Structure 1
């Protein structure tokens, strides 16, 4: 409760001021000349001016508001190391009891984790937690943390309030830790080439003063160990790593553990390199001119990632009409160079209606078969010649082809259809939407064959095989048993999906990772880890997910379409997730490759010290001797320094809220009128004497 005098002029204050000046002049003249009743007239004029000002005695009923004390609890991942979680819980309970015994303070508890952020951001959470509190009500801030904070303001003015910031630091000075730091790494790399990665091991704690130490570092790519090397701690090391495939190559470097170190999480570092495939080289050999000869050429030439070499056999050797060779071709067919010297430089060889007529010596078919076994790819787009004597199946290439021709050719209209395996395979899975019957145009010819290996993806009349793919050794082969794909390209009867079919077929043969039929992938989408499993099987087991914190979570997978299964699990921590499903494993890097949360995990008092000093606060270790010991908490009205060696201070609040107001007019009403009339009557009486 407080009292004050409030003035509310009855007329414009400028008129009152003019009247006051005039009255003062007249009164002064009267007093100087010692005129009878001058002081009474001056008193009457003063009362009149005061009455016009309407002074009132005001009583305010105010309630003093308690000061808000923000206690920010660091629950980030680094706070789970060692005994820090227990120390934090003990400090919270002790501080809660001490604040409860103090009057005039309102504690506000703010818990801050590290999920979804790159590091520990206590001050961002503090700003959000105090957004509804006026700055004059903030009495202080107490941080319970390990000292590893990544959003500390550079200046105290950035806090937005004038109150002390204190830090109660968990952990101890003798902590031991080793970390692996990547100094230079590529973002992109050509598939098949090496890229350098530079890193260094750093030891902290009592072991750091020891003589130079050596440690083993294991280098893995996509979860598979590549090499192990011995490095000297504290020295930069550069190691070449091969980019194995297109897309994300996740390279992980892991150092051996130190005895008694805080965590192994920062013994690992991750580098994600985007693999870029050099232009794919494709050799297309057309056996004879036919209506669909340019279909394959147009598809491959339209792909910017493909370098195409195309040869067409315009005249077989047995056809002799006397035309000079120089007039039949621009260059001679370089059989030795293509199928012996440089065969390994090609990623795919396509035989389009090609038959064995002596153009290629038998030895070269052996080279092609070995080329497939060693990782190459062959596609045979067959026509009637595949069923005849000159069939490629009757050459040394035959053992790697997945279907044996019966010798008959089916000549009848039919619509190509997906087999059960074709509905699951990435080449053909989504050629038909939702399992509907295809409305593609008809084909009119098919080479009858018996499948001996691989998967039949498309069928013709009476379920006969139309498209068969197979793996042979380290390579791949495909057999298209019709030469009528060009009808789709020409738009006959509305055409069909020839571009996705032929392009995916070629890229599957060239081992495009996105077209693998057995694959496991995982990516982060928002706050969920999305797991996808592609398989030809009818069921899959649950996926096992190892989180960055070392926990294992089982995630069930649901079939969303034939051959594609999905599952998801919440993302709680940033870092590397390891996913296993059956005999497949994969990695998913969520957030930055090397999160700041685990870049430095030792407890630290130096980072927060400058800000604490600037606000008058202090930084205290609370678990030096194995038990938690907090400094005393004292309320303080005003001081430059709000901490001591064993105590922390909180500013008392002077903020209040107005509950009610009472006003008592001093010169208004009957009392003011009586005083004014009394002064005027006394002045008149004095002059009348």
Structure 2
């Protein structure tokens, strides 16, 4: 009960004092015509009337709470995907069994009156009425939390849900973010990080989605064994398109990460599959992470190189000779003859270089790699240096060549001071005999190619470089790919990411003289072809055609939306058309073909559902009958979708879709209940009732008291 006085408190206190004084005075001065008991009765009625009046002036109020059950649904989501079959809990208990037991044995009595909904999900969603029904579930399929939340929104409406409770191991491949919702998402973690159980797993590793034909990809596959007291011998293999390309028997020790290096090269365009697998070790808690399958899109190599020499030097002719051998290649070479005169050469040279380096970085959008022949002092104007910086920022690759006019004095504030991955010296060119040594940590195709060139040339005394540019330091964040061994070890090839692109410093101009005369041209070609592939911009959006699909794993009969962004290499985008062909795996005749509809800024079409199997989606951009670019996407249509193969249940995984930092365990049922009570109380409606206004009882009681006193006074002949 709360009071809201209608008059100031001091006035109420004054009235209360007056009432007390009047009551005492009236009690002491009795009318002789009235009996004592009559006097006491009249005084009592008067005191009651005055007291009631004071209470009315205090204006008592009462707060009531009304539960809004309509907007207080509690939804429990049980993960039943394949990863929940891992038996990493005490006594070999399965994650799914522990999660189902938690939901069955947690009564949440304080929330018994609130509406509840129970769902189990993997790549599909099923609603259950009773927790006991969960015991019949089996772990299978992939985890799609986003689809489960969408189902709740469809069935109940997220606006009517007070909290979502997710009981899971935290593995999800739908990229769901809890920040997308405003309601609380509480997570109950079931599972361990596998550190204390017997398990062998293929860990996460980097692998691109797209390769160029003929490009060598070096995979560094990490394997981790846990829980075994002795070393275990494990058969390991990698298959490309179901053909073994790498086999090994590995000796693994618990807790020690082993990385297996596997080089892979595909020469045909299209979709290729890589299957990485290792045999089971006795006693493993799960076999799900013993195998990894990847799909790689191999596209036609698109190396459109350009070389800009503000000063002609000895590096120009070897480059021109090497990159004009192939009639299908695109190579532009331009050098400055005089202040405003340039000479343009190459294979299909780009007209934008007719007057030297273009004045706008946008003009270089088709150039995958730009070679800069010299850059000291004022060889580059401030405007040219700024264009180079913008080009790299937008995803381009810049290769800076060595020589007497490179890696020396730079103008103060020049963008090249920011771009270069090294700190330059005033007089940096030095002669000598320097052996090329790949950095031990370098595992890419470029370092592997250099190792192969070194192995093919043996220990020939002439297999050295005759000069390098020394540098003051390698910048923090830059990576040394090659070293030059001479009197001391010096950086030879250094690169760093910059914006969306990369900058490469090649600190020797003597690669065209690398090796014996009979091997020099071959060595130079192999080195520069791999360097150009290494330098090619990696940003997919820089391609002439980019393709996206809303899903790559589909249920049987489920359709897919294909979207594409295409541009014409000559800028004639109005002449573009985009076509999609869907092939069943292993077949050359398409199951269906569609021409994508032109939308604002992109092309799009919907493909109907297919029966289970693997399909290759081929998308081509064309100008009339001329095919400009072809891209590929692998689609899997399955009754049961695949699960993520990294199975450690880690707290950090939950933070992406939980609304709070605390992740509950199955033993914290009381804490979970308390948090759910807080969640539903946010929907409680509080109402304030002012009793003197909302009920007539106070007024009627006062009138009754006054009338009773008046009647008695008449009866006692006091009027």
TM-score normalised to structure 2 length: 0.37
Structure number with greater Rg is 1
TM-score normalised to structure 1 length: 0.39
Structure possessing the higher relative contact order (Cα contacts under 8 Å, 6 or more residues apart): 1
